[in-house]
Structure 1
Amino acid sequence: MKVRKAIIPAAGLGTRFLPATKALAKEMLPIVDKPTIQFIVEEAKASGIEDILIITGKNKRSIEDHFDSVPELEQNLSEKHKTELLKVVQSTTDLGVNLYYSRQAHPNGLGDAVLQAKSFIADEPFIVMLGDDLMSDKVPLTKQLIDDYEKTHSSTIAVMRVPDKDVSKYGIIDPEQEQVPGLYNVKNFVEKPDVADAPSNLAIIGRYLLTPEIFDLLESQEPGAGNEIQLTDAIDRMNKTQRVFAHEFKGDRFDVGNKFGYVKTNIDYGLVHPEVKDELETYILDLAEKIQKKNKK
């Protein structure tokens, strides 16, 4: 069956970015001049996804507004002959995918957020895309997972090697063997283990391809880490009855879920942005020189 649906959980409170996220959805924080969630939607479209359900929560209306049309703004840009800006604004509405929205009443973990999409997904395989991770590669990571599914017809989780000091921040896989280069059979999935207990440094990152059987498991899943319904725990249970693979991502991952990662991502993207890259590079070189002089004192 073709993979044509995706879920983007966007109901989190964004506490790591307070006070900015007191009234603004974390997913709307810009990378230079584009909200993070737009990068996720564009990856889905580039991977062949047709329908996307965004799971929202309170104070998340700005996400829906961003992807909606704004006739007054478009008319203003048209009258002032700001053609390029008009195209940019219209491109956020004419995405070529169907967007739907559902609200998670109470934040109760990623597993609970995914469970909200049960009726939307029905009996189809689907993608889960987390907004904290932006991925860059010649072939979009979501498309890589879909390509794996077309060969294995099994759930496949994206993983990436992380430094040992960061292992406890992630779900970690216990790899059994490589089915093909970069595609692992998995013994167990462990949610946020201590580094001493971690079976590997292959961390689950923000892309999942799941079969619909996951929903029955989520409905009976006991709370795990943080007293929340953890998707990783349900995936580990599913792995006991049907194969779940892990796809090792070799491209570039930008973690925008913490302050330093967010600032770093803005710099990295700014250095290739046509409007600011030259000035930003000059600024960084000048700043580096100032820092070196300061440290020599």
Structure 2
Amino acid sequence: MKIKKAIFPVAGLGTRFLPATKAMPKEMLPVVDKPLIQYAVEEALSAGIEQIIFVTGRGKSALEDHFDHSFRLEQTLISKEKNDLLRQVQEIIPESGTIVYTRQNQPLGLGHAIWCARDIIGDEPFAVLLADDLIMSGKSVLGQMISKFERLRASVVAIEEVSKSETDKYGIIDGIDSGDNMVEIKGMIEKPKPENAPSNLAIIGRYILTPRIFELLEKQQKGAGGEIQLTDAMASLLDDQPIYGYKFSGKRFDCGSKAGFLKANIAFALENEEIKKELIPYLREISKENGV
């Protein structure tokens, strides 16, 4: 069955970025000249996703407006003959019906956010993308994962090695290498302390899941942090179905942290030839001033 739908959990408050996120959704923070959420949506669409499902909360109207027409802005750009900017603004907007919105009315975690989209997904496999994990790659990571799913017909999650000291920030897997950058997962733990972690292979924000996951999330069992954890439901799913981890090709930036967000801005800015010319001399200058 083709992966046609993707869930974007965007109901979080973005407290790590306060006060910037007091009146603006975290997902709208810009990396160079595009908001985080746009990178994720573009990745999904380039992978062949046909329906974008935003699981939102209060205060997310700016996100919704971003993917809609702004007739006043477009008319202004037309009148000033700024055709390149007009094209960029209009390219953001998918076809009508491509985006669906639903609300997560309780802050109960990632698993609960995904469960909120159950009726929209129906009885078919689907993708989940977390905008905080911004990935620079040639072929979209989701596109890479869909290729693996089409061969395996089983749930696939993106994984990467993290520092042993940081296992308490991620869902960590225990598995067996099955070749072709794939790991057959035998177990997983949500945010284990380093001494309890079965490995340093962490699940990051790209998933392809089968609809069976909704039955497990329906139990509404709370795990780490008092939230309904997707990792816990996936661990239960292993009793019935295989799950594979995929060591993707690309560079991930953790834009849920301030340092990761700034690194992403620098890395993506250096991909722009015009900005690069001014940025590299500045980076050299401040590196010298700071004794680096």
Give the unaligned 5+ runs of structure 1: none
What's the secondary structure of 2:21's corresponding residue? helix
Partner of 1:278: 277
Kindly provide the CA deviation profile for residues 48-83 of structure 1, in whole angstroms up to 9, marking residues without a partner as x.
Answer: 101010111111110000000011110111111111
| Displacement of 1:276 | 1.4
Kindly provide the CA deviation profile for residues 83-122 of structure 1, in whole angstroms up to 9, marking residues without a partner as x.
Answer: 1111111111147981111111111100000001101110
Partner of 1:218: 217
| Displacement of 1:275 | 3.6
Runs of 4+ in 1 over 6 A off after TM superposition: none
Partner of 1:247: 246
d(CA) in 1 for partners of 2:177, 2:59: 43
Cα RMSD over matched residues?
A: 1.4
* Number of aligned residue pairs: 292
Change (3 A) 1:30 1:97: farther
| Native 8 Å contact 2:141 2:249 kept in 1 | no
d(CA) in 1 for partners of 2:38, 2:97: 12
Kindly provide the CA deviation profile for residues 238-289 of structure 1, in whole angstroms up to 9, marking residues without a partner as x.
Answer: 0111111111124210110011111111111111124412111111111112
Change (3 A) 1:187 1:94: closer
Partner of 1:127: 127
Q: What pairs with 1:98-113 in structure 2 (closer than 5 Å)? A: 98-113=98-113
| Native 8 Å contact 1:45 1:96 kept in 2 | no
| Displacement of 1:181 | 2.4
Change (3 A) 1:251 1:95: farther
| Displacement of 1:137 | 2.1
d(CA) in 2 for partners of 1:106, 1:116: 10
d(CA) in 2 for partners of 1:253, 1:260: 13
TM-score, normalising length: structure 1: 0.95
| Displacement of 1:28 | 0.2
Partner of 2:20: 20
What's the secondary structure of 1:276's corresponding residue? helix
| Displacement of 1:129 | 0.3
Kindly provide the CA deviation profile for residues 3-28 of structure 1, in whole angstroms up to 9, marking residues without a partner as x.
Answer: 11100000001010011111100000
| Native 8 Å contact 2:32 2:268 kept in 1 | yes
Give the unaligned 5+ runs of structure 2: none
> Residue type of the partner of 1:136?
M
> Residue type of the partner of 1:79?
S
Q: What pairs with 1:30-109 in structure 2 (closer than 5 Å)? A: 30-94=30-94, 98-109=98-109
> Residue type of the partner of 1:54?
F
Partner of 1:159: 159
What is the percentage of aligned positions where both structures have the same residue? 48
> Residue type of the partner of 2:185?
V
d(CA) in 2 for partners of 1:47, 1:15: 31
